[in-house]
Structure 1
């Protein structure tokens, strides 16, 4: 007789015996239940699988040579892992940036005081964060000039992002005021990036004066909270999107750090028109 049948027989016997008891001789209600429970638990305990054996720990003196031998058997493994890690991090950063851009969309594209060049109703928008003392921004200026000249449907938004020095902040404050005026901002922009030496308040005021603006008036107004809020807007966007250097571009849902050259910008603009993404799959 197997154990299950034995348990059933015992239960049946207990129940039959219980029916024959006199009322005064009947045991406490829990007595039979306790007995049955004990038998069932004993059977289940015997049926329970044996716990999996715990593998003995491997000491470092044994494990380390094994790892080294494995890696040396395929020297390019670490390179592939590094590439895979970089790609994983890039995808994660892009996803974080995409979510942040959804939250900051209005601040990126509709902030008051920002400079808009090209076609304000263009079908593709290119955003650039720059610092007037950034050498790479200076190098990338001809790329932006070429795009504006050749693409009548491109909208460009310039974000003052002075991060390199206090002189950069002063120049950016003057630039905000120039952008609000009727003066030719692009001429001012080119003048500062083509000037020699560090771009500071004096250089910005001189460039503005060449456009017919009063340097005295600009200097008096450059400390206004409204001017500071324009630059603060750039800082807040940069913090949310992880922008830490200049130039940095935004196109579609992609944050592009560094000067990627005219062809790189053209390719992304073309992809935006073709598939609505900065990089068509």
Structure 2
């Protein structure tokens, strides 16, 4: 993993501060003693720079563990909103034994590539229900594209899967392109615009934002499988392993 200097600096600074102040209750260091300790720490780090990487790795591991624990609690506390929201549509088996929830943005490059992972998983496992949770975070064009997507869901839900795949392929997504994709599938612009006015998708997107905050999701794609949040485009193989574990024991790690 590449070394993140911006993260290393505060972590190292904290370590130095801890070294200086660790026994403050027993002994208050004077300025000269603090300066001497600082020099010793500096000399050690210069002689052993690999320590910085070790500190960084330990810090990231701790953060990841805390994030995973936060997500597990949030999954438990928000189960229905995550897996069974009325405004989400699913592809695959609507009554599948295992549900995968994907937070996605139509302008996320990783999400575009992850469509292939989704389709491969659905093809290989007929017991997978794949919920698509609209999470536009990449600007106004994404928000506008998702408004059209929501209208497609309401006007022609049977076409939603094809619409999703088509909009995810190729060009930058915005309102105009989303409408063209929907029209190519036989949905009229008039019906879309009427539904966009009636139901602009604000509530479902707001709920997705709130859920993402609780789950610790900051980017797309992110997945919820069983009791775990999976961050990033981890690929078909990794997702399939977790799905298999959920089938066997109800959790991603049996």
TM exceeding 0.5: yes
Q: Runs of 5+ in structure 2 lacking a partner?
A: 1-24
- After superposition, the C-alpha distances for 1:53-82 in whole angstroms (9 at most, x for unaligned) are 857645233212322344456543333332
The match for 2:38 is 64
| Structure-1 separation of matches of 2:49 and 2:202 | 53
Preserved contact between residue 151 and residue 199 of structure 2 (Cα < 8 Å): no
The match for 2:162 among 163, 174, 187 is 187
Quote the offset at 1:153 in angstroms. 0.5
- Between stretches 261-270 and 71-80, larger displacement belongs to 71-80
- Structure 1 pair 165/74, CA: closer, same or farther in 2 (3 Å)? closer
Q: Which has the larger radius of gyration?
A: 1
- Please show how residues 10-29 of structure 1 align to structure 2 within 5 Å: none
- Structure 1 pair 223/236, CA: closer, same or farther in 2 (3 Å)? farther
- After superposition, the C-alpha distances for 1:221-266 in whole angstroms (9 at most, x for unaligned) are 2133463222222122112222221111111222222111111111
TM-score for the superposition, normalised by structure 1: 0.74
| Structure-1 separation of matches of 2:27 and 2:184 | 81
- Please show how residues 144-155 of structure 1 align to structure 2 within 5 Å: 144-155=118-129
Quote the offset at 1:133 in angstroms. 1.1
- Please show how residues 71-150 of structure 1 align to structure 2 within 5 Å: 71=45, 74-150=48-124
| Structure-1 separation of matches of 2:169 and 2:250 | 35
**Structural RMSD (CA):** 2.2
Q: Runs of 5+ in structure 1 lacking a partner?
A: 1-51
Preserved contact between residue 70 and residue 216 of structure 2 (Cα < 8 Å): no
SS at match of 1:207: helix
